[in-house]
A and B are shown apart, each in its own frame.
Chain A
Amino acid sequence: MPVFEYAPAPESRAIANLKDSYKPFVNGEFVDGSGEPLKTINPATEEVLAEVGTASKSDVDVAVKAARKAYNGVWSKMPGTERAKYLFRIARLIQERSRELAVLESLDNGKPIKESRDSDVPTAAAHFFYHAGWADKLEYAGYGPNPRPLGVAGQIIPWNFPLLMLAWKIAPALATGNTVVLKPAETTPLTALVFAEICQQAELPPGVVNILPGAGDIGASIVAHADIDKIAFTGSTEVGKAIQRQVAGTPKKLTLELGGKAANIVFEDAPLDQAVEGIVNGIFFNQGHVCCAGSRLLVQESIAEEVLEKLHHRVSTLRIGDPLDKNTDIGAINSAEQLAKIRGLVESGDAEGAERWTSPCPVPDRGFFFAPTVFANVHQSMRIAREEIFGPVLSVLTFRTPDEAVAKANNTPYGLSAGIWTEKGSRILWMANQLRAGVVWANTFNRFDPAAPFGGYQESGFGREGGRTGLEAYLNV
């Protein structure tokens, strides 16, 4: 196979306007948090990017008070038409500063610039645009003639899509008239703090949005705070369960977007080249740091060999390296800790007897990288078939009949997403009915849109984000 040498095409790092230090955003201003400052690093080089002030428990209290005051005094009283205009402003400002946000996101998170530029940032803007339009139409959302906001929302988001998850959380909360206290992930706080600047530029009333960088203890303080009316969490199932336990017995409304172990099911009549693209997109997009990643490939036995061969061929063409290089397909693993977790699970795959294939692509010797890996001969009982790996690691299982595919796909406590590849429409719809998952992609994978509800069954959480359904999470109905 010919290997085309691509000249490096790095995006300019200067576009990120990276500052030496960043601060928490409370009541419309950047303040000195009283927590221990953290250093956020570039996972592709392990260099320190910036120092970030963090919140302490008392800062959480100040932020919640600011949010409450803004809720009572301004935001809940404001007519929806006016609230909408702030959200439209924010959407436009994100679009205007999109290149800056994309580069900063890639620096802080390690994701390839082509993904932050073409997917994360535009979709974040789209979420504000979509929800802006709901702000003055809530009485048409199907929750009665006078749907009311909940109050102050505490929101905790993960590191895999720092800006996009922020948009998923903040846009519907503000559109429905709530104010927010949001904690970005410890390892990826930067774009959230640039978003805070955007809130200032949009002249959003002080206190409507508050952003508190910090670690899990700050998240726990937000969850525990008595004056918060709603908790929205995206992250691991383990932490989600702890939050659900903690919220039990309080009046707080809760939505959870947790882990997944999605089945991507390929039938023998599928358009195989397209399916292979979908498999690659399903598991290697964002280094596999995707809760709905298609991490279990279920392929019909009759074509398993052929698919595996095509897959190896295709995956070996993926370029791993500098996230800011426009040619890069796979960037850096977000943290040393996550890299260790991926390695541990991959070793369990070896130990349990799965057949490991790793792409021969060159891997940078600095930074946190993990070469795309495909396990064949995987059995359902193996850890790599059951546990979320959250990395560029695919487990391949086989099936013979549609019923067997359904049984294997549903054999998981998770239920976030699934994929189906077949030319047969009736089979697609039948499979879509049978699969216990909140999102089913047929002959495509990893599609997101603010108009399409997203969320899980079972231990993948409850509540939906996006669409009319997603509004329920922030309304008193």
Chain B
Amino acid sequence: MSDRISVAKTYKLYIGGKFPRSESGRVYPVTDAKGKFLANAAHASRKDVRDAVVAARKAFPGWAAATAYNRGQVLYRVAEVLEGRRDQFVAEVSSSEGLAAKKAESVVDAAIDRWVWYAGWTDKIATVLGAANPVAGPYFSFTVPEPTGVVGVLAPQGSSLLGLVEVLAPVLATGSTAVVVSSAERPLPAITLSEVLATSDVPGGVANILTGRAAELGPWLASHGDVNALDPTGAAPADRVELAREAANTVKRVLTVPESEPDWTAAPDLTRLRRYLEAKTVWHPLGV
């Protein structure tokens, strides 16, 4: 091979469609599964969380109001771009998680396919979870699912890509917007996913990805007055009770998650989609 020196990359946060450094100026070293230095990742702060929530709130009305067809198209576009970057993700998942190339390939493929699965749900949720209500009176009454708002997500610590997709895609599919704290030790696939999101017609602010520590950032998300729901998957089990108590102060919807990280390759179901939806019932009198 040549003596060429590779261009080293500065990894940053993803907030409001832009890639800022952490407001705090902090970084932390990221190593591969064997302990070899890979990069310095931005170490997000409380202020970064707040900025990300502001961006997610700002993006919410537009994303929620996008047609389900449009949201599906955008999410499918993410899968397309993911597919195009397949080799990069395989390399990063492999080094982050210490997986053999073959295994890393199957994880990345599953992540892409999972994204496609959620993309296909956007225009079916209302059909499956909505209803025409046969009320006992001269009224037309129907129930439609609507996105709950801004969702704070503590992404799984182990599964750096497939797990991340499984916690992020259902939030976006429902029309909610997300502030995600990535796996602390394995953040590189999340940062690369940010680049995919930024180039896939996902409006800025719809997905915000922070690299940092769930133990530090989780409480700020759980107590934030403008966050509507919380996925504590990436929090240490010992921290989850306190997060849930903080969340109660604003009646946040808190996803029920298993003690240890689940097998993300198992077939998904509607649990996560349902948690981020509100049912709205509309009534109108019938008459001539």
Contact = CB atoms under 8 A, between A and B. Distances in A.
Interface of B: 65, 128-129, 131, 133-137, 139, 141, 143, 148-149, 228, 240-241, 244-245, 247-251, 253-254, 256, 269, 271, 274, 278-285
Contacts of B256: 253
Nearest to A470: B279
A280 B128 CA distance: 37
B284 A442 contact: yes
Contacts of A459: 250-251
A442 B280 CA distance: 13
Contact of B251 (A248, A256, A444, A453): A256
Task: Name, among B135, B245, B251, B278, the residue most crowded by chain A CB atoms within 10 Å (CB to CB).
Answer: B251
B248 A244 contact: yes
15 contacts: A126-B136, A244-B248, A244-B251, A245-B244, A245-B248, A432-B282, A433-B65, A439-B281, A440-B281, A443-B284, A444-B139, A449-B137, A451-B135, A458-B149, A461-B251
A249 B136 CA distance: 40
A438 B281 contact: yes
B136 A444 contact: no
Nearest to B136: A449
Contacts of B65: 433
Given A449-B141, A452-B143, A461-B251, A248 B133 contact: no
B56 to A, nearest CB: 16
For the residues of B in contact with A, the DSSP-based class is mixed
**Interface size range of chain A in the complex:** 35 or more
Contacts of A413: 250
A199 to B, nearest CB: 24
Contact of A447 (B128, B228, B248, B283): B283
Interface of A: 126, 142, 144, 237, 240-242, 244-245, 248-249, 253, 256, 258, 413, 428, 432-433, 437-444, 447, 449, 451-455, 457-462, 464, 467-469, 472, 477
A438 B274 contact: no
Given A241-B251, A428-B284, A452-B283, 6 more contacts: A439-B282, A442-B282, A451-B141, A453-B143, A453-B281, A460-B251
B131 A469 contact: yes
Given A248-B245, A438-B278, A447 B251 contact: no
Task: Name, among B131, B282, B284, the residue most crowded by chain A CB atoms within 10 Å (CB to CB).
Answer: B282
A248 B222 CA distance: 13
B21 to A, nearest CB: 33
Contacts of A437: 280
